[in-house]
Amino acid sequence: MAEYKGRVEEAMAERGLNGRAKVQATGNTLTLAGKLRPAEHGELLKFLRNAPSDVRVIDHIEYDDTPLAAAGNPEEGGHPVPGAGRGAIHVVTDVLGATAVLHGPAGRVLSKCDTPCSFNNLAPAQYSLEVQKGGYQSVQTALQVKNGGVQDQKIKLESLAKGIYISSQPPGADVFINGAKQSGQTPVTLPLAPGQYNLVLRLPGYEAYAGNIQIKDNIQTQLNATLNEKSATRVAWAQVNTDPKGAEILVDGTSTGQFTPARVQVPAGLHNVTLRLNGYQQAKRTVQVSEGGTVTINESLRPK
């Protein structure tokens, strides 16, 4: 992400936008902020349309709406100047690459464009504008186009899935929430309710990523985790069995996302293994595992 952010900053400098626009990176999300002319904004967004597939772009650019000398081109996002006796609609969304669909007075689709864009030289009448993007709530509004007027529409799109968006470097990691394996691999969106959760990411050949996450209400939490490659010379295993079965296995206080009976991969050395099962007392064992070796843990859990 840092490398791509640097490329965006270079593109902004080449276009003379420094001091008027800036880009911030949080996890896998780039956020644009500042104030630009519509055509400048459009050129920047054209560059960002080639962003890597796992990068999300949020657009908070404000407009310097001074009209251009000529009518705006929808692809460039320029501010339109309608001809005599005509009007226009200019559409900007806070999420890059939404589709704006213009419906005529009879409901027929007249035109489509990718935001930011314009519908120019429209006959004065009432129109319906619909804005769509995968993963976001569609927005529809009625607009009255007047002779010589430009309807400016800056639309905020609401994500359908709040919860959390999890990505990893490299991608393809299995995701465990509170010990339960989730559907899909990173990058993935999980529609979790607000609250605190234990997160574990596991990818063969890499150290597990573990930590606590806080899901907030009415906003999507984002996490981008960097997974560290395992050293082949430091690998060891623990074969963990319990009576009864199904206990969650924690190593050094972190959930492995595995349940007994299970063969758990751990770094060679000294470890604290904790076993948890509803209705039973928590059990703890300290084990020393040699490089390339396997230690067996057999534990009979006591009812509470």
Q: Dihedral sign, CA of 245, 246, 251, 256?
A: positive
Residue at which a domain ends, from 159, 182, 201:
159
**Banded model confidence at residue 161, pLDDT cuts 50, 70, 90:** low
pLDDT score, position 65: 58
pLDDT at 58 over 50: yes
Residue 74 lies in a domain: no
DSSP the chain: -HHHHHHHHHHHHHTT-BTTEEEEEETTEEEEEEEE-HHHHHHHHHHHTTS-TT-EEEEEEEE--PPPSSPPPTTTTPPP---TT-EEEEEEESBTTPEEEEE-TTS-EEEEEESSEEEEEEPSEEEEEEEE-TTB--EEEEEEE-TT-EEEEEEPPPBS--SEEEEEESS--EEEETTEEEEEESSEEE-PPSEEEEEEEE-TTBPPEEEEEEEPTTS-EEEEEEPPBPPGGGEEEEEEEEESS--EEEETTEEEEEESSEEEEEESEEEEEEEE-TTB--EEEEEEE-TT-EEEEEEEPPB-
**Banded model confidence at residue 30, pLDDT cuts 50, 70, 90:** confident
111 and 173 housed in the same domain? no
CATH number of the domain encompassing residue 173: 2.60.40.1120
Across residues 2-13, what is the average pLDDT? 85
Residue at which a domain ends, from 159, 175, 198:
159
Residue 142 lies in a domain: yes
Residue 70 lies in a domain: no
Across residues 3-19, what is the average pLDDT? 85
pLDDT score, position 73: 41
Between 71-80, 84-93, 112-121, the lowest mean confidence (pLDDT) is in 71-80
pLDDT at 32 over 80: yes
Domain count, the chain: 4
pLDDT score, position 28: 66
Alpha-carbon distance of 179 to 281, in angstroms, equals 18
Across residues 275-284, what is the average pLDDT? 94
pLDDT score, position 232: 56
Across residues 256-284, what is the average pLDDT? 92
pLDDT score, position 193: 76
pLDDT score, position 107: 85
pLDDT score, position 155: 87
Across residues 55-62, what is the average pLDDT? 77
56 and 8 housed in the same domain? yes
Residue at which a domain ends, from 226, 261, 279:
226
pLDDT score, position 88: 93
pLDDT score, position 72: 37
Q: Which domain holds residue 108?
A: 80-90+98-159
Alpha-carbon distance of 35 to 41, in angstroms, equals 9
Between 62-71, 235-244, 258-267, the lowest mean confidence (pLDDT) is in 62-71
